[in-house]
Amino acid sequence: MTKVLDIQNLTVKFGEFIAVDNITFSVEKGEIFGFLGANGAGKTTTIRALCGLVNISGGKMFIDGKDVSKNTKELKPRIGYMSQKFTLYPDLTIKENIVFSGALYMMSEKETLKRMHEVFEYVNFKENPDEIVKNMSGGSKQIISLAASILHNPEIVFLDEPTAGISPVSRKLFWELISKLSSDGKTIFVTTHYMDEAEYCGRIALMQSGRIIALDNPQNLKAASNASDLEQAFINFLDKK
Amino acid sequence: MPRFSIIKAFFKKEIAQTLRDKKMFGMIFFAPIIQMALFGFALTSEVKNISISCIYSQRDVLAQKIETRLLESGWFVSAKTAERIDYSKILSERKAEAVLVMQSQGLLKEIERGSAQIQLLIDAVNPQRAVQIENYVKNIVSQTVSQELSNTAVGLATPIDLKVQILYNPSLESAFFMIPALLGFILCIFTVMLTGISLSKEKESGTFEKLISSPVTVWEILLGKTLTYSLLGFIVALVMIFASYILFGITVKGGILKLLFVCSIFIVSSCSVAIFISTLAKTQQQAMMGSLIFLFPALLLSGLIFPVENIPVYARWIAYINPLYYLLETLRNIVLKGGDWVVLIKNCFALGLIGTVLLIFGVKKFNSKL
């Protein structure tokens, strides 16, 4: 398997506060890689560092063998990023939001809308594209956000708590879409709070206070901590620390 | 090189967002017209409606004439003061703003004798108004007296026949002076506030994160934003030029092209200020406060209301680095005088220089990281 993401001794500090503390891991092509941890564990900061959104304090990050800090401009079109925050314009329509997102990646309106329909069709999303986004439900907004971040067909997709606050039905649909993306050869890097969602991941990194305390596939993590489910495994790992 | 298609996408997005907000739409297109009407009609720098009380003996014909001339001038109104003994009381109780005391048994005779004395008491709480009142009264008294003297057998005529020709604004309308400057000020508010708020809104709502995770450059973000609001500013300027013609009959003597040219050089400065404000402000409210902190001194030291020549030398230097000062001076020159090339080139050079420095500073400070 080819390493798509290679992170070596990554450290991110904000003043005195160490958000990410010397972490090392790699992600393979087509893998769904999960980041699990409480709020403030350093998941979002790691994703932001990988997308070139924050300055790093130490270590190296490589995407496809290219140093992220030195090749940000070249790498940005190859990654898709869905922030934890809601990053659509609430006063614009679904279509206007999507067309603007596509334009940021130099996509024509026609091309963008074709892609939007493909994604919406796959998850059976039936909202009117001329509807204003602020009138949508939480689940619909997340689907639109995801569509906006994968329009340009990125090789790696970073999803920061994509299913936070949405209904179980929407969450299921969402994960089906993520699995489909992975089977298409895209590498997915996802952070989540939900332990049941973590089961969908190929491998999981458990994070606490900016450090990775365990990293393996769900079965091995459960076996290593003598737990029947991931939640218990996580607790056991935290206790061990 | 900034890519045109990205700037176009920003433009379409910003316009859709601005025009969809009905309150914003009203604020952009109607508020400037209302402000202009207010400034033009109501906020006049001319001193008018001065209540004056003239005190003299009923038999004094010349004093009577002076009072009539004062009231006929249109600047003064007669203060109805029953009490005519304690003059300072008339002033302290604001029954009159000025008291003209001509207590003699015959002003004309006393003038002939060379011993005429007139006393003028002015309420100088507003010193500017007081100076103007003094000048008005002095002029009217001396005109009336010299006319009276030339009519009498004495035949004393005024030694100098002063012919005054008033140029560019012959009717001395305050509106003519105010409107071109107001046009510049509103353009400044527009570009500074709307651009600043729009940039901070992206940061506050989190959409900025999406922008910087995409391959767009800082220049593309900034150009996309500033060009949109500059264009809106231009449209408002044109609406105001049209409204000023309808309301006040003001025509742009130097032509609209010259006016828009100066405005576009100015916009580099105002947008750079907006960019700088957005680097400090994390929320829209902070951007609004930041804009006001810039706009107030910029307005007060621009010559819109108080002439820059009146400002003490040390503070005048602040006016000389204030881009609004150059804009207002040039706009007045273009609208009223037709736009003298020397003034135009000199001020555009100053605006260009200030704009470039501010732009370098603003863009350097603008961070494409979180």
| A105 part of contact set with chain B, CB < 8 Å | yes
Which residues of chain B have a CB within 8 Å of the CB of A142? Answer: none
Q: Is there a domain that residue B292 lies in? A: yes
How many Cα atoms sit within 13 Å of B93 on the Cβ side?
Answer: 10
Interface with chain B: mutation pick from A50, A100, A108, A133, highest number of B CBs within 10 Å: A100
End-to-end CA distance of chain A: 31
Which residues contact residue B235 at a Cβ distance below 8 angstroms, ignoring those fewer than 6 apart? none
* Residue B31: pLDDT over 90: no
Q: Give me the sign of the Cα torsion angle B253, B255, B258, B263.
A: positive
How close, in Å, is residue B200 to chain A by CA atoms? Answer: 14
Let me know whether B324 and B291 are in one domain. Answer: yes
- In terms of Cα–Cα distance, which of B307, B324, B314, B203 is closest to B262? B324
CATH number of residue B62's parent domain: 3.40.1710.10
| A85 part of contact set with chain B, CB < 8 Å | yes
Let me know whether B16 and B59 are in one domain. Answer: no
Which residues of chain B have a CB within 8 Å of the CB of A78? Answer: none
Q: What is the largest CA-CA distance in chain B?
A: 94
Q: Is there a domain that residue B163 lies in? A: no
Q: Which domains does chain A have, with CATH numbers?
A: 3-240 (3.40.50.300)
| B212 part of contact set with chain A, CB < 8 Å | yes
With CB atoms and an 8 Å threshold, state whether B369 touches A55.
yes
Interface with chain A: mutation pick from B209, B218, B223, B370, highest number of A CBs within 10 Å: B209
Helical spans, DSSP H, in chain A:
43-50, 72-75, 94-104, 109-122, 138-150, 168-183, 195-198, 218-224, 230-240
Please give the average per-residue pLDDT across B71-99, as a whole number: 77
With CB atoms and an 8 Å threshold, state whether B370 touches A77.
no
How close, in Å, is residue B208 to chain A by CA atoms? Answer: 8
| A173 part of contact set with chain B, CB < 8 Å | no
Task: Report the domain count for chain B.
Answer: 2
Let me know whether B102 and B200 are in one domain. Answer: no
Contact of A99 with A133, CB cutoff 8 Å: no
| B5 part of contact set with chain A, CB < 8 Å | yes
Please give the average per-residue pLDDT across B30-55, as a whole number: 79
Looking at per-residue pLDDT, the higher value among B360 and B129 belongs to B360
Please give the average per-residue pLDDT across B257-266, as a whole number: 89
Helical spans, DSSP H, in chain B:
4-20, 22-29, 31-37, 61-72, 87-92, 107-113, 127-151, 174-189, 195-205, 207-213, 218-248, 256-280, 284-300, 313-320, 323-332, 341-365
* Residue B163: pLDDT over 70: no
Please give the average per-residue pLDDT across B340-368, as a whole number: 86
Let me know whether B236 and B350 are in one domain. Answer: yes
Q: Is there a domain that residue B183 lies in? A: yes
Q: Is there a domain that residue B248 lies in? A: yes
Nearest residue of A to residue B369 by CA position?
A: A53
Let me know whether B29 and B67 are in one domain. Answer: no
Determine the pLDDT at residue B62.
Answer: 84
Give the end of a domain, one of B151, B180, B213: B151
Banded model confidence at residue B83, pLDDT cuts 50, 70, 90: low
**Could you report the per-residue pLDDT of B192-216, keeping only the tens digit for each?**
988 898 999 998 888 999 999 999 9
Count contacts between A and B (CB, < 8 Å): 75
Let me know whether B80 and B210 are in one domain. Answer: no
CA separation for the pair B124, B133 (Å, rounded): 10
| B117 part of contact set with chain A, CB < 8 Å | no
With CB atoms and an 8 Å threshold, state whether B370 touches A79.
no
Determine the pLDDT at residue B171.
Answer: 61
| A107 part of contact set with chain B, CB < 8 Å | no
Determine the pLDDT at residue A8.
Answer: 92
Nearest to A76 among B3, B206, B214 (CB): B214
Determine the pLDDT at residue B44.
Answer: 65
Give the end of a domain, one of B89, B116, B151: B151
The type of residue at A230 is: L
* Residue B106: pLDDT over 80: no
Let me know whether B38 and B57 are in one domain. Answer: no
Q: Which domain holds residue B345?
A: 4-43+172-365
Let me know whether B55 and B134 are in one domain. Answer: yes
pLDDT-wise least confident of B117-131, B164-178, B294-308: B164-178
Task: Using alpha carbons, list the distances in angstroms from residue A207 to A24, A95, A237, A238, B110.
Answer: 12, 37, 10, 9, 103
Which residues contact residue B29 at a Cβ distance below 8 angstroms, ignoring those fewer than 6 apart? B236, B239
- In terms of Cα–Cα distance, which of A170, A163, A218 is closest to A192? A163
Let me know whether B66 and B35 are in one domain. Answer: no
**Could you report the per-residue pLDDT of B166-179, keeping only the tens digit for each?**
566 666 666 777 88
> Per this entry, what is the length of chain B?
370
Place of tokens 């979002």: A44
Which residues of chain A have a CB within 8 Å of the CB of B9? Answer: 99-100, 103-104
With CB atoms and an 8 Å threshold, state whether A53 touches B9.
no
Give the end of a domain, one of B93, B120, B151: B151
The type of residue at A185 is: G
- The pTM of this model reads 0.78
What DSSP string runs through B292-309?
Answer: HHHHHHHHHTTTSSS-GG
* Residue B159: pLDDT over 60: no
CA separation for the pair B67, B117 (Å, rounded): 16
Please give the average per-residue pLDDT across B280-294, as a whole number: 91
Q: Is there a domain that residue B311 lies in? A: yes
CA separation for the pair A194, A37 (Å, rounded): 10
With CB atoms and an 8 Å threshold, state whether A76 touches B213.
yes
How close, in Å, is residue B177 to chain A by CA atoms? Answer: 41
- In terms of Cα–Cα distance, which of B59, B116, B105, B56 is closest to B84? B56
Let me know whether B181 and B314 are in one domain. Answer: yes
Interface with chain B: mutation pick from A87, A98, A150, highest number of B CBs within 10 Å: A87
Determine the pLDDT at residue A110.
Answer: 93
Nearest to A83 among B3, B209, B215 (CB): B209
Let me know whether B251 and B195 are in one domain. Answer: yes
Looking at per-residue pLDDT, the higher value among B272 and B44 belongs to B272
Interface with chain A: mutation pick from B6, B20, B198, B213, highest number of A CBs within 10 Å: B213
Q: Is there a domain that residue B167 lies in? A: no
- State the 10-residue block means of pLDDT for chain A, 241 residues long: 87 91 91 88 90 90 89 90 89 94 93 90 83 89 88 92 83 86 91 85 91 90 85 83 67
Determine the pLDDT at residue B56.
Answer: 83
Lookup: tokens for B169: 């604004």
| A48 part of contact set with chain B, CB < 8 Å | yes
What DSSP string runs through B116-168?
Answer: ---EEEE--SSHHHHHHHHHHHHHHHHHHHHHHHHHSTT----S--------S
Place of tokens 């969450």: A171
Partners of residue A7 on adjacent β-strands: A25, A61
| B83 part of contact set with chain A, CB < 8 Å | no
Q: Is there a domain that residue B164 lies in? A: no
Let me know whether B233 and B343 are in one domain. Answer: yes
With CB atoms and an 8 Å threshold, state whether B213 touches A106.
no
Q: Is there a domain that residue B157 lies in? A: no
Which residues of chain B have a CB within 8 Å of the CB of A107? Answer: none
Determine the pLDDT at residue B45.
Answer: 64
CA separation for the pair A45, A52 (Å, rounded): 10
